[in-house]
Structure 1
Amino acid sequence: DFNQLNKTNEAINHIIPYDLISKTIINRNKEIFDWIGLFDQNVLVLLILVVIVICISIISTQLTLMLEQISTIGILKTIGCNELTIRNVFVHISTNILLKGMLIGNGIGLVLCFLQSKLHFISLNPENYYMSYVPIDVRWEHLLLTNGVVGIISVCILLLPAYYVTKKVQVVDSIRFS
């Protein structure tokens, strides 16, 4: 247990003779643990970049979907639909597209992870990495948390263009546009 490492090391140093000293694995291999610590930082930066790309993609998809249906928005406003109802229709359609994309992406990712864990098709130079292949460990709680956070952020992002377009579209302009 890495949380007890320093405490255990101190206890061992009190037990062993004075001419010996106990060192933790972290103290003995500081460079390796510093290098491993950089992974956490890189993963965070990578996830932030992926979320930014996802947000831009979602906004452009939502705007494209809504701008293609400008005349429909005008007709819906003409027959008495309020902006909230129209917004909900487009958010619902976009959420279905989003969920299908997430399902397909997760399926492809899990298949690739399974194949890598069994076939080791992504290899490494063992002289540099101390292993001959990239190990894969799928944690279901991480997968569910990531999908949940991405799903919530994505649905929130869907609301922005839907709100903007339904506010800005005027009935006369939308019918004239078509």
Structure 2
Amino acid sequence: VMFIILTLIILVAAFNIASSLIMMVMKKTRDIGILKAMGTTHQSIRKIFVFNGMIIGGIGTTLGVLLGSILCFLLKQYKFIELDPDVYYISTLPVKLEILDVLIIGCAAMVICFLSTLYPAHQASKVDPVEAIRYG
């Protein structure tokens, strides 16, 4: 259940990455046009934007995994989230940190980030150099 919830959160982040890359493509249209006029291939333009998105996703995934793991460790050690024993059968929030789960979530986040970069990268590679330089 937690994996599904985390995957949905990662999907929202992926849409955020895709929208920021689309905005970057729109802002950099003139620069993309100049690169294409100088002979840069469609594939090279795609690689630039995929690499940019993967850097954003990698930093976010790394920070998320580190901060989440630290929070789980602290929660397990100090039990600072207490539950009302009259309502629940347990008094503290149970935490079990599985390394395999963390790795799967991190890998899933990177795959989703990669997939979210494909559309903006494709849009960037389709920019017409003449139109981009003229109106960019």
Structure 2 length-normalised TM: 0.89
Match of 1:85 in 2: 44
Identical aligned residues as a percent = 30
Task: Report runs of 4+ in structure 1 exceeding 4 Å deviation.
Answer: none
Where do residues 115-134 of structure 1 align in structure 2 (5 Å cutoff)?
115-134=74-93
Match of 2:121 in 1: 162
Where do residues 13-162 of structure 1 align in structure 2 (5 Å cutoff)?
40=1, 43=2, 46-162=5-121
Note the residue ranges of structure 2 that are not aligned, 5 or more in a row. Answer: none
Structure 1 length-normalised TM: 0.70
Distance in 2 separating the partners of 1:112 and 1:175: 49
Say how many residue pairs are matched. Answer: 136
- Letter of the 1:125 partner, please give it: D
User: RCO (CA 8 Å, sep 6+): is it higher in 1 or 2?
Assistant: 2
- TM superposition shift of 1:153: 2.1
What is the Cα-based RMSD across aligned positions, in Å? 1.7
Match of 1:26 in 2: none
CA contact (8 A) 2:11 2:112 kept: no
Structure index of larger Rg? 1
